Amino acid sequence: MAQTKQQIQATLAAAGMHPRHRFGQNFMIDGNLVRTIADAAAITPQDTVIEVGPGTGTLTEELLSRAGKVVAVEIDRDLAEQLRTNFANEPKFTLIEGDALATKHELNTELGAAISAATGTVKLVANLPYNIASPLVVELLRAGVSTLVFTVQKEVADRLKGKADSDDYGPLTAVVQLLSKVEVLRTLPPQAFWPPPKIDSALVRLTREDRLGEHSAAFGRFAHTLFSFRRKTLRKGLDMGGYKVAPETVGLDGTKRAESFTPEQLLALFHAARESSL
């Protein structure tokens, strides 16, 4: 059963703790949401489930009732100690204490090893800390995680689902949509969390469909370069970024801006730029 707001508050108070903004801590207090998140991931006993930011363990309990193994990653040492104690007798539970990311573009070494060592399907199911969500989902997709179901700020969900020529569209959109199928399942009000965030959140599901392969990191750099010249034409952005390729090579209008083109069109341009440099 999901922990209530009062139970979470009591747990933290007993340990002399409080929600830490620097870790993006907003605890889920909606029991229906906990079950909805787990349902959306279609967890089976053959699955290894990664949970980043387990907090006091309310979602963790639900995941352990469904998965073959749960690998939780918690950066807050006080919460990590509580989790270690609370699940000490649970053989399916593994705790990694630390940041899920070693750098902005690299997973925690222990987390990466856990993903590589898993024998079944690996899924992320989490109420993600807001401050690391964007880079983390990209690196998990690159690492081969098959399904990611998570809560995040609605503005990040909008960026993940963004369309070309919209304000939400950017390099994150292009990379994630070329690595996965993106679904925004529902919007979540601040009251679903404690303390309530100042903005709405969303429940997102990413199903891995990798069209980047070994070129994933290079395409990410390419997309970030082009979008960093938002006020420039595509032709000018390519030139300023050091890419010697004509957009017309792949049928794109070089007088338009990078955000005018779909992820698939940008991928075709990336491959043309890569081939021209060989």
pLDDT of residue 28: 83
Domain CATH number, residue 186: 3.40.50.150
pLDDT of residue 54: 93
Better pLDDT: 23 or 180: 180
- Does the structure show a pLDDT above 70 at 18? no
Q: Are 56 and 26 in contact (CB under 8 A)?
A: no
Distance of alpha carbon 182 from the chain centroid:
11
What's the rounded mean pLDDT across residues 253-278? 94
Q: Are 67 and 92 in contact (CB under 8 A)?
A: yes
Secondary structure percentages of the chain, helix, strand, coil, to 5: 45, 20, 35
Q: Are residues 260 and 196 in the same domain?
A: no
- Please compute Rg for the chain using Cα positions: 20
Q: Are residues 148 and 29 in the same domain?
A: yes
Domain boundary among 179, 210, 241: 210
Q: Are residues 203 and 142 in the same domain?
A: yes
Ramachandran area for residue 6 (φ above 0: left; ψ -120 to 50: alpha; else beta): alpha
Query: What sign does the dihedral 163-169-174-175 (CA atoms) show?
Result: negative
Of 210, 183, 196, 273, give the one whose Cα is nearest residue 237. 273
Q: What is the pLDDT of residues 42-101, one digit of tens each?
A: 999 999 999 999 988 999 999 999 999 999 999 999 899 999 999 999 999 999 999 999
Better pLDDT: 14 or 56: 56
Q: Are residues 71 and 146 in the same domain?
A: yes
Residue 194 — φ and ψ, nearest 5°? -135, 135
Q: Are residues 206 and 222 in the same domain?
A: no
What's the rounded mean pLDDT across residues 29-38? 91
pLDDT of residue 273: 96
* Measured distance between the N- and C-terminal CA atoms of the chain, rounded to whole angstroms: 58
Q: Are residues 48 and 25 in the same domain?
A: yes
Q: Are residues 223 and 183 in the same domain?
A: no
Q: Are residues 46 and 160 in the same domain?
A: yes
Domain CATH number, residue 230: 1.10.8.100
Q: What is the pLDDT of residues 106-136, one digit of tens each?
A: 999 999 999 999 989 999 999 998 889 999 9
Q: Which residues of 73-92 are buried (b: 16+ CB within 10 A; e: fewer)?
A: bbbbeebbebbeeebeeeeb
pLDDT of residue 183: 98
pLDDT category, 24, cuts 50, 70, 90?
low
In the chain, how many domains are there?
2
Of 194, 108, 186, give the one whose Cα is nearest residue 151. 186
Query: Crossing angle for the helix pair 171-179 and 133-142, nearest 10 degrees?
Result: 30
pLDDT of residue 40: 98
Q: Are residues 196 and 219 in the same domain?
A: no
Tell me what the pLDDT averaged over the chain comes to: 93
Q: Are residues 202 and 220 in the same domain?
A: no
pLDDT of residue 25: 73
pLDDT of residue 243: 94
Q: Which structural domain range is residue 148 located in?
A: 5-210
- Does the structure show a pLDDT above 60 at 1? no
Distance set, CA 104 to CA 140, 164, 261 (Å): 12, 25, 26
pTM of the model: 0.93
Q: Are residues 199 and 75 in the same domain?
A: yes
pLDDT of residue 4: 74
Better pLDDT: 146 or 104: 146
List the structure tokens of 79.
Answer: 């919460």
Q: What is the pLDDT of residues 163-192, one digit of tens each?
A: 999 999 999 999 999 999 999 999 999 999
Of 85, 28, 25, 95, give the one whose Cα is nearest residue 62. 28
Q: Are 2 and 58 in contact (CB under 8 A)?
A: yes
Which distant-in-sequence residues (6+ apart) come within 8 Å of 128 by Cβ?
Answer: 52, 53, 136, 137, 150, 151, 152
Q: Are residues 115 and 192 in the same domain?
A: yes
What's the rounded mean pLDDT across residues 135-148? 98
Q: What is the pLDDT of residues 194-241, one digit of tens each?
A: 878 889 999 999 999 999 999 999 999 999 999 999 889 999 999 999
Domain boundary among 161, 188, 210: 210
Task: For strands 101-103 and 106-107, give the pairing.
Answer: antiparallel
Residue type for position 91: P
Domain boundary among 160, 186, 210: 210
DSSP per position, 117-152: H-SS-EEEEEE--TTTHHHHHHHHHHTT--EEEEEE
pLDDT of residue 22: 62
